[in-house]
């Protein structure tokens, strides 16, 4: 058969050489079937391969290459079952492909915790594939999974950094092609955490031996650091207060709103048992070495915002004892003129 084919081809070539002047026309007429096959191959195979495989692959690849940068998250209007979340972000790409990306619902979850469980769902707006694009979203979120949200808050509060992934299915329309392609938007961002609010300072303190009208005998200014990019409205927060392993009272901060990038200065008030504090002040090393500076520990007890319990914040704040050193000796001297010497004031306990 191979020989026959060869024979036919050579024969054809010989024939085609005869009416040479007719040029392409004769050639094209004679080989119309070959052109038809080529056309069919292009239409049936190449175009779909480009449109159905290459372009969507390219679109997904371009989307994967783009970078999502978190500029800030602000959580306000916090209620037991909902909150308002505002996210400012920037999407950076090479800007080489003109494309429009449809709006989509993005799940947000902790990248380093399996199984990946969304703690929030965000409606992302339509975007383009411009080089630099701001995407600012403000949205009321129903808390669908309080456990996942609590875990996110725990990591945000505890960790030096944490990785959050935004993932959603959407469609992209590449300029010049009418078809829209399915793509997956998946970006992981690394953000700074609050490291247990390490570095919280309490100063400008006053002590009274009698409780005031709110039942408090201690006041001070708390300076809460702002390492993270997340600002959040907590409301009225109370803390367990421990001294040397024993619970000695309750700390209150009202209308607390921890803001990123701002000095968070708040009035801190507390109701603290006098006895254990005076005992500690009269004992080593507090009566001499630390000069009356006591290592209190605080741990979240309640978070109530306009009457709504925010357990997703409370359960995060209650997982860790944060040490805050307070100059109680100096404050006592300043406020009521008492200095406790080593060994105490004649050993007389002063329980309240």
Residues of this chain that interact with ligand NAG (CB under 6 A) are 71-74, 86, 88, 112, 134, 136, 154-155, 158-159, 199, 201, 203-204, 223, 225-227, 235-236, 242, 245, 254-255, 261-263, 297, 299, 304-306, 319-321
* Least Å from the CB of residue 344 to ligand NAG: 22
* Least Å from the CB of residue 199 to ligand NAG: 6
Cβ proximity to ligand NAG, 180 vs 227, nearer residue: 227
* Least Å from the CB of residue 286 to ligand NAG: 17
Cβ proximity to ligand NAG, 121 vs 171, nearer residue: 121
Structure tokens that stand for 141 in this block:
């979120």
Cβ proximity to ligand NAG, 208 vs 255, nearer residue: 255
Cβ proximity to ligand NAG, 64 vs 254, nearer residue: 254
Q: Can you give the C-alpha Rg of the chain in angstroms?
A: 35
**Phi then psi for 57, rounded to 5 degrees?**
-60, -45
Cβ proximity to ligand NAG, 72 vs 95, nearer residue: 72
The answer to whether 119 and 147 are in contact (CB under 8 A) is no
Cβ proximity to ligand NAG, 59 vs 129, nearer residue: 129
189: nearest Cα among 65, 94, 60, 70? 70
Task: Return the exposure string of 300-334: e unless at least 16 CB atoms fall within 10 Å of the residue's CB, then b.
Answer: bbbbbbeeeebebbbbbbbeeebebebbbbebbee
Question: By Cβ distance, which residue is nearest to ligand NAG?
Answer: 72
* Least Å from the CB of residue 309 to ligand NAG: 11
Cβ proximity to ligand NAG, 156 vs 183, nearer residue: 156
* Least Å from the CB of residue 202 to ligand NAG: 8
* Least Å from the CB of residue 217 to ligand NAG: 18
Structure tokens that stand for 99 in this block:
């494309």
* Least Å from the CB of residue 152 to ligand NAG: 10
Cβ proximity to ligand NAG, 16 vs 236, nearer residue: 236
The structure tokens 């990306």 sit at 101
State how far Cα 193 lies from the chain centre.
9
- Within the chain, strands assigned E span 67-76, 82-92, 99-101, 104-110, 120-124, 127-128, 132-142, 161-174, 180-192, 201-207, 218-224, 230-243, 246-258, 264-272, 293-305, 308-309, 322-327
Cβ proximity to ligand NAG, 204 vs 311, nearer residue: 204
> How far apart (Å, rounded) are the C-alpha atoms in residues 169 and 285?
61
CA distances from 258 to 71, 110, 127, 352 (A): 16, 21, 31, 33
> Terminus-to-terminus CA distance in the chain, angstroms?
112
* Least Å from the CB of residue 231 to ligand NAG: 7
Contacts of residue 71, defined as CB under 8 A and 6 or more positions apart, other chains included, come to 88, 89, 90, 229
Q: Helix (H, G, I), strand (E, B), or coil: what is residue 94?
A: coil
* Least Å from the CB of residue 193 to ligand NAG: 7
């Amino acid at each position: 058969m191979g020989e026959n084919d060869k024979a036919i081809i050579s024969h054809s070539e010989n024939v085609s050489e005869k009416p040479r002047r007719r040029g392409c026309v004769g050639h094209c007429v004679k080989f119309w079937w070959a052109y038809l096959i080529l056309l069919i191959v292009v239409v049936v195979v190449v175009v779909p391969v480009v449109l159905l495989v290459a372009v969507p692959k390219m679109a997904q690849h371009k989307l994967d290459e783009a970078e999502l940068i978190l500029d800030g998250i602000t959580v306000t209007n916090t209620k037991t079952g909902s909150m308002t979340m505002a996210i400012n972000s920037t999407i950076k790409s090479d800007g080489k492909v003109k494309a429009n990306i449809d709006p989509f619902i993005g799940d947000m979850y902790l990248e380093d915790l399996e199984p990946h469980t969304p703690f929030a769902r965000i409606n992302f707006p339509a975007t383009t594939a411009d080089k630099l694009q701001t995407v600012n979203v403000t949205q009321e979120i129903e808390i669908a999974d309080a456990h996942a949200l609590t875990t996110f808050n725990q990591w945000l509060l505890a960790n030096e950094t944490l990785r959050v992934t935004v993932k959603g299915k959407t469609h992209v329309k590449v300029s010049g092609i009418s078809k829209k392609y399915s793509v997956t938007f998946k970006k992981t961002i690394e953000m700074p955490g609050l490291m247990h609010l390490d570095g919280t300072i309490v100063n400008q303190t006053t002590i009274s031996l009698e409780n005031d009208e709110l039942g408090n005998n201690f006041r001070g200014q708390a300076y809460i650091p702002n390492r993270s990019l997340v600002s959040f409205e907590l409301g009225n927060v109370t803390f367990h207060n421990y001294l040397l392993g024993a619970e000695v009272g309750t700390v209150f901060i009202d209308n607390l709103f921890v803001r990123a990038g701002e000095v968070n200065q708040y009035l801190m008030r507390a109701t603290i048992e006098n006895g254990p504090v005076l005992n500690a002040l009269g004992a080593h090393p507090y009566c001499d070495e630390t000069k009356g500076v006591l290592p209190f520990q605080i741990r979240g007890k309640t978070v109530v915002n306009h009457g709504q319990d925010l357990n997703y914040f409370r359960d995060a704040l209650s997982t860790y004892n944060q040490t805050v050193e307070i100059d109680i000796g100096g404050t006592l001297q300043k406020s009521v003129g008492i200095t406790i010497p080593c060994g105490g004031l004649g050993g007389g306990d002063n329980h309240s």
